[in-house]
A and B are shown apart, each in its own frame.
Chain A
């Protein structure tokens, strides 16, 4: 995995973690407008970063949630638990 891929992946991971944490917070604070606003903003940012990552490094999601434009790249390694990911 080259430097660019590592950096984009880290950006994706950070944004998605923010989304996970806001999601859980909203589950018990559904009336909080500030958290809802943040969540919706992160969803957009996350979609942009995912798009940029996948255009270069292949799909991050299976079952129809990510396009695989340059051949079927879902089967490409490394997988997330492997060294070099």
Chain B
């Protein structure tokens, strides 16, 4: 069960339209290392985790990633909402506009739609937790690229928050991996 809370985890207030930046940021919505990939990966891997502690960590981080997907959607929505058509064309978002107008959809910056092939659910907790740690680092690296690409301080501020959360999640997954390894070692001793 999930409950919706009518607030963003971190506020998003964009002052001026910027479809060029929206095109970059949208990859964290529907790109390979984006928030949809993150949330769905953790929330589906949790079913086969061997310990309650690992299940809790995947449930909670997966849930926070859903909130991050909403933050990224808010960024994209506000960056294109009042953008005139000529700006959308100049930004190279005209192809996106043809299919989606100014709606928010899961694509990467080049317009490639999200696919479940971006993520894995292996049934092997060691493999899954290593993937989760790598996913957090890839998302952190993407946010760093986006911060370098951003020319809007209001957007950069939100990207910095999201980058910091990836670092915390990486840490928690690392601790979870150690706990799961200890658990699996104990099970082997007869």
Report the contact-size class of chain A (Cβ under 8 Å from the partner): 20 to 34
Is A2 in contact with chain B by the CB < 8 A criterion?
A: no
- A28→B7 contact, CB < 8 A: no
B175 part of interface (Cβ distance < 8 Å):
yes
| A61 and B3 in contact, given A13-B11, A17-B9, A27-B53 (Cβ under 8 angstroms) | yes
The interface size bin for chain B is: 20 to 34
- C-beta contact mask, A15-28 vs B, less than 8 Å → 1, else 0? 01100110111011
Give B63's nearest chain A residue, CB to CB.
A20
**What residues on A are CB-neighbors of B11 within 8 Å?**
10, 13, 85
Inter-chain contact B6/A79, CB cutoff 8 Å: yes
Whether A28 pairs with B74 at a CB distance below 8 angstroms is no
Instruction: Choose from A9, A23, A80, A81 the contact partner of B60 (Cβ within 8 Å).
Output: A23
Contact of A63 with B7 at beta-carbon distance under 8 Å, contacts A27-B53, A28-B57, A28-B179 already known = no
- CB pair B53 A28 closer than 8 Å: yes
Asked if residues A63 and B77 are in contact (CB atoms below 8 Å), the reply is no
Whether A80 touches B7, Cβ cut-off 8 Å, given contacts A20-B64, A21-B168, A28-B175, is yes
Check if A83 is an interface residue, CB within 8 A of chain B.
yes
CA distance in complex: A29, B168 (Å): 14
Measured in the bound complex, the distance between the Cα atoms of B10 and A85 in whole Å is: 12
A80 in contact with B53 (CB, 8 Å): no
B172 within 8 A of A: yes
Give the residues in chain A near B81, CB-CB below 8 Å.
83
Bound complex: CA A20 to CA B165 (Å): 11
Given known A-B contacts A80-B74, A81-B12, A24 and B5 have beta carbons under 8 A apart: no
CB distance from B120 to the nearest CB of A (A): 22
Residue B24 is within 8 A (CB to CB) of chain A in the complex: no
CB contacts (< 8 Å) of B8 on chain A: these are 13, 80-81, 85
CA distance A59 to B5 in the complex (A): 9
| Residues of A that sit less than 8 Å from B by CB | 9-10, 12-13, 16-17, 20-21, 23-25, 27-30, 59-63, 65, 74, 79-81, 83, 85
17 A-B pairs with CB atoms under 8 Å apart are A13-B10, A13-B11, A16-B9, A20-B9, A21-B168, A28-B53, A28-B172, A28-B175, A29-B175, A60-B7, A61-B4, A62-B3, A63-B4, A74-B6, A80-B6, A80-B7, A80-B70
Residues on B lying within 8 angstroms of A by beta carbon are: 3-13, 53, 56-57, 60-61, 64, 70, 73-74, 77-78, 81, 168-169, 172, 175-176, 179
Further pairs besides A61-B3, A79-B6, A85-B11: 4, Cβ < 8 Å: A17-B9, A24-B57, A80-B8, A81-B74
